[in-house]
Structure 1
Amino acid sequence: MTDQPRQVGGGRRTLGGFAPKLAALTDDVLFDDVWNRPELSARDRSLITVAVLAAGGDTAQLGFHLGRAVENGVTQEELIEAITHVTFYAGWPKGMGAMGVAQKLFTD
């Protein structure tokens, strides 16, 4: 799985001046290490991340990760289907909230 683009975080850019340690952990551990491990492709990691965020109702982070998923090769149709699937396991309100985020992202 080495033919994929290197995943880079934006922690320092968005939070570096306010929460430098969290920004460094986001960039250096989560993205530079975990996201770039070869056992899963960035595409698979994106699909998993979107599903987990949707299931947890974490819509504040979902918009970013939907965009990242598209960059990593997940199609809009696949993301809509993943959120639809998650809705039945995680709960209707969480699924509807996640789909609202996706709709805003894909129609704006």
Structure 2
Amino acid sequence: MSKPKSGARALIGEFSPDFVDLTENFLFGQIWERPHLSKRDRSLITCAALVVSGKTEQMTGHFPRALENGVTLDELREMIIHLAFYAGWPSAVSALTRLKDMAETGAEDKA
């Protein structure tokens, strides 16, 4: 099974090829391919971590990947609402805004 190429290659591939290699081979290779959690569960966990840490730029790549891995738009929305009380209201608003933008551009239709 071939692993997906990371967005890191397009963003910083020429600037930091070693980092891209680690991203593609270790993170999306060894870590994401471990059998103990499904890709769906890993996606939900990753998206939750991004919401909690306020990493909205990374949500642009991980929200669609979560949909590809079987997480529904409703589940992403509910996860963000749940985390609003743990991560803070501003983090939830930012995450919901990213999710809304993705939904309006049709990114969820590609999943």
TM-score (norm 1): 0.90
Partners of 2:5 and 2:27 in 1: CA distance = 8
- SS of structure 2 residue aligned to 1:51: helix
1:97 corresponds to: 94
CA shift in 2, pair 1:29/1:91, >3 Å: same
CA distance in 1, matches of 2:2, 2:70: 13
> How far apart are 1:76 and its partner, in Å?
0.4
Deviations 1:28-82 (A, max 9, x none): 1100010110000000000000001001100010111000000001000000000
- Aligned residue for 2:18? 21
Number of positions where the alignment pairs a residue of Structure 1 with one of Structure 2: 104
Match of 1:47 in 2: 44
Amino acid at match of 1:83: I
Give 1:8's aligned residue: 4
Q: Does 1:69 align with 2:66?
A: yes
Residue 35 of structure 2 aligns to a residue in which SS? coil
Distance 1:46 1:104 in 2: 19
- RMSD between aligned residues: 1.4
Q: TM-score, normalised by structure 2?
A: 0.88
1:56 aligns with 2:39: no
Change (3 A) 1:81 1:107: same
Percent identity of paired positions between Structure 1 and Structure 2: 43
Cα drift, residue 18 of structure 1:
1.5
1:17, distance to aligned residue in structure 2 (A): 1.1
